[in-house]
Structure 1
């Protein structure tokens, strides 16, 4: 067997096989060098702080590829400005190597509008601030949902929750201010159910029970009765019940009378009207001055002195006995407003006649 192994034919085939294998390996490496431009490198141009459009043009002219990625928006840099690049500037790379560019975006990253509709306004404002949105105007609108968020406006138009807007965008919030008071009920009798719904919604009311005479739900039925009646004053958000039929209201007069007896309160106007009479003005009574009653004199105790007898003159004044009218002190009568001077003169005269020593009390007898 060893003899057959060293046969020249076997050895020749083995050498041929080894030669083919080595040749294939050499051709493979040569092809790889040619395809990958082995040994051919070039420096990376510096495109930092340039706009992304200029950077892309420079890289294409140098025979390099590029990949653009956006970083977090930074207001200190210009929009679409190249902030970083990888590999860095000056590095040697092969042709058609992809250079990664980090670019400042035009604006902040978009955020989704949170679902805060029909939520309390205080919590809604907090939620909007957390996602990076700014509150612009707070618009109050009459609604039964007081202090609840009704709509969110972006650039004046309503926007649905979940919509994407740039971060730090300004949004307006519509908040309910409570129901309006004393709104007149509209008249929807004679309209179709569909038309009545539209009129009631525009009047800030809601549709309550809709009773179809035939038991169906045809929106084209004619309204022949409503409660509350048209012209009544109700608050916003109150429900209006409707009765509809394919017949006209004139054909359902009996049914309307039956509903009036149930839903309309009859006011008794047979009582006589109230009459108001004017009251006489009460006059205060006038009183004439009354002379004061005489004060009774107290009896002076007797002393061991002769009693002095007084006489009553015609004028009603009393004087001591034995004193005549001529002996009385005379006073000058003045006219006009000198009555006060006369009184002072009389007092002076009487005081001059009094003795210097105090007299003892005497008993006075009045006849």
Structure 2
């Protein structure tokens, strides 16, 4: 078998196969070098700070492609000025390579106006600043929506939400200052419903109930009654009810009288007007002086003499009673100085026992 491998025919075929393989590899690399311009590189030109038109012309002459990117406006540089190049100037790239240009745009990017209509003014200001819009003048306008945003103005023109404006643009905000008071109600009797709506809106009122006499919803019906009546004063935003029909007011006189009896109350002017007095809130209270205290006069009660009292006690203890007095018999007066000396003590006991009204104790009289 080894002898057959070293046959000259076999060796010849092997050499031919190796030569064909090497030739194919060499041709492949040569084709790749020719197709990819191997070894042929072009330096990136310095186009920084040039205008984008000049930079594009230079790249076209050099055989290089380009891509323009405008990320953010910078007011320090000119509009459409080339700020940065990638790859950097001086780098060597192949023919046909794309060069990325960072170009300063003409102005700020446009942003959408947020939907802040009928929102609280403090929240609306925050939303406007978040998207990149600056609030200029704040205009207050009478409205029932107090402290709410009514409109957004850009250069004097109202703009709707989602309208695109240049970033950092200055916008004016119209805010409601509250309803107006005591506005005269307009007269819309004799007008069509469409005309009455416009008049009521200009007078800063709102249309309330609209009742058609024939049940239709035709805006061309003539108004023959309104409530509140024309000339009354109401606050801004109050509703005005309307009654409309295709008939003439003469044909609806009975209906008008019926509505007057319901909505037109008669006021009795014969009663005197009621007057109200305003009391100041910080008035100091006034207190009345207390009544004087009247003290009862003191009574001087004479004190019984000590000697008379002692003599009475000795007589009572030494003498024997000769007469007994019954329980119901009233006491009698004693004789001599005894009766005179006991006057003070009798008055004192009577004065002390008078409020109680108690019966007096039995007493023995010695003669």
- TM-score, normalised via structure 1 length: 0.65
| Distance apart, 1:202 and its partner CA | 1.4
Q: Alpha carbon RMSD of aligned pairs, Å?
A: 3.2
Tell me which residue corresponds to 1:77.
77
Q: What residue is the counterpart of 1:225 in the other structure?
A: 225
Residue 134 of structure 1: how far off its partner (Å): 1.3
The alpha-carbon deviation at position 139 of structure 1 amounts to 0.9
CA distance in 2, matches of 1:11, 1:195: 112
Residue 153 (structure 1) aligns with: 153
C-alpha separation in 1, matches of 2:35 and 2:219: 76
Is 1:57 the counterpart of 2:88? The answer is no
> Residues 29, 248 of structure 1: CA spacing in aligned structure 2 closer, same or farther, 3 A cutoff?
farther
> 1:92: how far off?
1.0
Structure 1, residues 236-272: CA drift from partner, whole Å, max 9, x if none?
1110001122223232111111001100122446x59
CA gap 1:182/1:24 in 2 versus in 1, 3 angstroms: farther
Q: Which runs of 5+ in 1 are unaligned?
A: 275-367
Which residue matches 2:110? 110
Mapped to 1, the partners of 2:116 and 2:271 lie a distance apart of: 59
Give the Cα–Cα distance (whole angstroms) in 2 for the partners of residues 222 and 9 of structure 1. 120
Question: Measured at CA, do residues 173 and 272 of structure 1 come closer, stay the same or move farther in structure 2, by a change above 3 Å?
Answer: closer
**Where does residue 94 of structure 2 map in the other structure?**
94
Q: Mark the CA change 1:253 to 1:34 in structure 2 (over 3 Å): closer, same or farther.
A: farther
Quote the residue 2:340 is aligned against. none
Q: CA deviation at 1:131?
A: 2.7
Closer, same or farther: CA 213–38 of 1 in aligned 2, 3 Å: same
Shift in alpha-carbon separation, 1:157–1:26, aligned structure 2, 3 A: farther
C-alpha distance 13-191 of structure 1, shift in aligned 2 (>3 A):
farther
Q: Any conservation in 2 of the 1:190–1:248 contact (CA below 8 Å)?
A: no
Quick one: distance in 1 between partners of 2:157 and 2:21?
A: 75
Query: 2:206, 2:15 → 1: CA distance?
Result: 100
- Matched with 1:134 is 134
| Structure 2 counterparts to residues 253-292 of structure 1, below 5 A | 253-268=253-268, 271=270
| 1:66 aligned counterpart, secondary structure | strand
Change (3 A) 1:16 1:196: farther
The Cα offsets for residues 322-363 of structure 1, whole Å up to 9 and x where unpaired, read as xxxxxxxxxxxxxxxxxxxxxxxxxxxxxxxxxxxxxxxxxx
Q: Is the 8 A contact 1:223 1:249 kept in 2?
A: no
The alignment partner of 1:251 has SS state of: coil
State whether structure 2 residue 186 is matched by structure 1 residue 177. no
Equivalent residue of 1:261, what SS?
A: helix
What per-residue deviation string (whole Å, max 9, x for no partner) do you get for residues 24-80 of structure 1? 766655444333323221111001111212211111121111101113222222222
How far the C-alpha of 1:110 sits from its partner, in A, is 2.6
Equivalent-residue separation in structure 1 for 2:127 and 2:241 (angstroms): 39
- In 1, the alpha carbon distance for the partners of 2:173 and 2:64 equals 50
User: 2:26, 2:226 → 1: CA distance?
Assistant: 99
| Corresponding residue SS for 2:224 | strand
In 2, the alpha carbon distance for the partners of 1:27 and 1:121 equals 77
Equivalent pairs, count: 273
- Paired position in structure 1 for 2:35: 35
Give 1:226 shift.
0.8
The residue number in structure 2 matching 1:195 is 195
CA apart distance, 1:227: 0.6
Q: How far is the alpha carbon of 1:178 from its aligned partner?
A: 1.2
**Match for residue 47 of structure 1?**
47
TM-score by length of 2: 0.65
Question: Which residue pairs with 2:325 in the alignment?
Answer: none
> C-alpha distance in 2, partners of 1:212/1:47?
77
Question: Structure 1 pair 39/242, CA: closer, same or farther in 2 (3 Å)?
Answer: same
Aligned-pair distance for 1:141? Answer: 0.9
Runs of 5+ consecutive residues of structure 2 not aligned to the other structure: 274-367
What aligned pairs does 1:196-345 form with structure 2 within 5 A after superposition?
Answer: 196-268=196-268, 271=270
